[in-house]
Amino acid sequence: MEFLHSLANIRTPFGTALFQGITLFGEEAIIVCLLCALYWCRNKQLAYGVGMAFFLSAAVVQGLKITFRIDRPWLLDPTFVPVASALEASTGYSFPSGHTQCAAALYGYLGVSCRRWYGRAALFALVLLVGFSRMYLGVHTPADVGASLLVTALIIACVYFCFRAGVSDAWLAGIVAALGAAVLVYALALYGAGVIEMHYASDCCKAAGGCLGCAVGLLWERRGIRFSERAPLWQQAVKFLVGMAGVVGIRWGLKALLGASLLVDTLRYGLIALWVLALYPFLFQKAEGLRHGACPEQHGAA
């Protein structure tokens, strides 16, 4: 806590605004947007690795949160004052840091895969800046950030090795599904026993649902869809916007339709992962096939 008090003493309006902007790079919404753009429009092979690292590290971090159940810094030390505007996005237990995990999974994996040293350095620096922003804003301790970096780095290394070693899709999907199922059962057991409240279990169920959807989507796309991410720029823009509309519809539409519950949280995030990885690529590949199939008829009619 001494380090956080020291940072609080040197806060400035400019520094607060700067790190509030930097911390957005660890927000779930930003990470999902970037991952979708990479997967649908740029490099799906690279996105496979990023996606697996993201879902696996999210499940592990959420599992650690409900295991250690460490309160936020201002609860640990009532004399400490965090930046008020950062509190809205700082729910759940403190250890480890979820924002840091999100940033490390995406930018860290991209950094490991980047061939140019300056690109790698920039991506790794962004990960560290997001972690530091969480401490500057007063919503996480150095232990929260350090543990999240360590866990995510280990998972990135394992995922990167698995893809480089040619581990089968079935094994990869099985690992992701098994971890998701384990975290789901663990969270429901703690919630059922009254150890954790619903909103703490909810974050675990979301991560577990994402893992399960990722496992199914990975197998479906790799074995049955095999879409091409290449297209003209205007088609890429339309593809991305329509796909993100689907993500928003699943995330908020199902909640409005079915209400809030742990089962619905698991279902929503499972369907989001499935939509991103397989269902939406299946639909736009079919639409592309119909469009090309209609072209010869149009030319013949002319």
Residue 88 has a CB neighbour count (10 Å cut-off) of 7
Confidence at residue 67, expressed as pLDDT on a 0 to 100 scale = 96
What average pLDDT score do residues 255-260 get?
Answer: 88
Confidence at residue 294, expressed as pLDDT on a 0 to 100 scale = 56
Contact assessment for residue 232 and residue 293, using Cβ atoms and an 8 Å cutoff: no
Angstrom distance (rounded) from CA 284 to CA 254: 22
pLDDT bracket for residue 188 (50, 70, 90)? very high
pLDDT bracket for residue 89 (50, 70, 90)? confident
pTM confidence score: 0.91
What's the start-to-end Cα distance of the chain, in Å? 75
DSSP H helices in 166-274: 169-192, 198-220, 233-248, 254-258, 262-274
Contact assessment for residue 11 and residue 85, using Cβ atoms and an 8 Å cutoff: no
pLDDT higher than 90, residue 287: no
Contact assessment for residue 99 and residue 127, using Cβ atoms and an 8 Å cutoff: no
Nearest residue to 207 via CA among 89, 60, 91, 69:
60
Confidence at residue 293, expressed as pLDDT on a 0 to 100 scale = 63
